[in-house]
């Protein structure tokens, strides 16, 4: 099978499930991974014959894609703000909305990064703290997660990307776990925020493969993590310190109220799709 034939095979199998545009993009990613070539180079070598083991791997990957497994898990990688992160089913696939959150933090800063203490809550793959450390090298960054498997993935990414980040495994919703944590100047979080009731309407590639513990919250208490983060900040955020959190698009005003009710100066920000997606909360001096 040549590269050109492999491309035809992949798109033919994937189009009925993913549509032409997404199927073509997936085929390109798979072939880039198999051949080490991309773009014009891939096209120029379209008559190159693939070895048997590569064809077998493409067939396996196609089967997994047809079962709706995220391509990021299949390839073991996801790009986030120009950095390549390792991902597996123990962590969420990094999303563009979270890139917008990190971009807001970086663009919004009115502080000197050197020595600034940062905490990322529910770090998953580590995409937020590792990117912040890469972009603002002077930060002192700590990241926490409930999952030991997620912490392992985040540590792997920090090492691969040369970012010095401290990782701690703890249950953030257990207030007793806060005792040993210091005061921070900046807190970031993309916590679980989807009510379980919404699960049935979500895509199979999310509900069937991504970790539920990182996605869902109780229907009767969907803001549980924001309440905990706001309460944590009363004791562990410096005066004038800032929190940046990603939120559920349908709970923007309610999430904002969680912070303003505790005395924070808070702002709700929309994403590029015009949906309520982020909140910044500043602790008054």
DSSP letters, 98-135, are HHHHHHHHHHH--S--TT-EEEEES-TTSHHHHHHHHH
What confidence category does residue 113 fall into, taking pLDDT thresholds of 50, 70 and 90? confident
What confidence category does residue 202 fall into, taking pLDDT thresholds of 50, 70 and 90? very high
At CA 102, angle to CA 105 and CA 200, rounded to 5? Answer: 130
Joined together, the tokens standing for residue 175 give: 């207030």
Rounded CA Rg of the chain:
21
Within 13 A of 150's CA, how many CA atoms are on the CB side? 26
pLDDT tens figures, 61-95? 999 999 999 999 999 999 999 999 999 999 999 99
| Mean pLDDT lowest among 200-204, 254-258, 279-283 | 200-204
- For position 124, what pLDDT does the model report? 98
> Distance between the two ends of the chain, CA-based, in angstroms?
66
Joined together, the tokens standing for residue 225 give: 């993590």
- For position 45, what pLDDT does the model report? 87
pTM, two decimals, is 0.94
Please state the φ and ψ torsions of residue 277, each to the nearest 5 degrees: -140, -20
Residue showing tokens 């989807």: 194
Q: Which residues contact 170 (CB under 8 A, 6 or more apart)?
A: 144, 146, 177
User: What percent of the chain stands above pLDDT 70?
Assistant: 100
- For position 110, what pLDDT does the model report? 73
- For position 122, what pLDDT does the model report? 98
What confidence category does residue 112 fall into, taking pLDDT thresholds of 50, 70 and 90? confident
d(CA 165, CA 142): 6
pLDDT tens figures, 132-183? 999 998 999 999 999 999 999 999 999 999 999 999 999 999 999 999 999 9
């Amino acid at each position: 099978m040549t590269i050109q034939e492999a491309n035809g095979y992949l798109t033919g199998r994937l189009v009925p499930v993913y549509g032409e545009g997404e199927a073509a993009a997936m085929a390109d990613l798979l072939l880039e991974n198999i051949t080490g070539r991309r773009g014009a180079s891939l096209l120029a070598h379209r008559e190159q014959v693939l070895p048997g083991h590569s064809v077998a791997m493409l067939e396996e990957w196609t089967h997994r894609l047809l079962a709706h497994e995220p391509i990021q898990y299949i390839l073991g990688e996801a790009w986030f703000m120009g950095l390549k992160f390792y991902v597996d089913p123990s962590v969420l696939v990094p999303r563009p909305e979270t890139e917008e959150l990190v971009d807001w933090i970086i663009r919004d800063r009115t502080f000197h990064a050197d020595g600034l203490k940062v905490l990322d809550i529910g770090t998953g793959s580590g995409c937020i703290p590792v990117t912040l450390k890469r972009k603002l090298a002077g930060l002192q960054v700590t990241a926490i997660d409930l999952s030991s498997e997620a912490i392992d993935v985040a540590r792997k990414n920090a090492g691969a990307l040369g970012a010095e980040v401290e990782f701690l495994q703890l249950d953030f919703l257990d207030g007793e776990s806060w005792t040993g944590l210091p005061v921070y100047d900046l807190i970031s979080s993309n916590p679980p925020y989807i009510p379980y009731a919404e699960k049935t309407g979500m895509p199979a590639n999310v509900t069937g493969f991504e970790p539920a513990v990182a996605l869902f919250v109780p229907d009767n208490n969907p803001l549980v993590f924001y309440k905990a983060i706001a309460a944590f900040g009363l004791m562990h955020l410096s005066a004038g310190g800032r929190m940046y959190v990603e939120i559920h698009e349908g709970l923007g005003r309610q999430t904002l109220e969680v912070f303003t009710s505790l005395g924070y100066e808070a702002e709700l920000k929309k994403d590029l799709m015009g949906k309520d997606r982020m909140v910044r909360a500043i602790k008054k001096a």
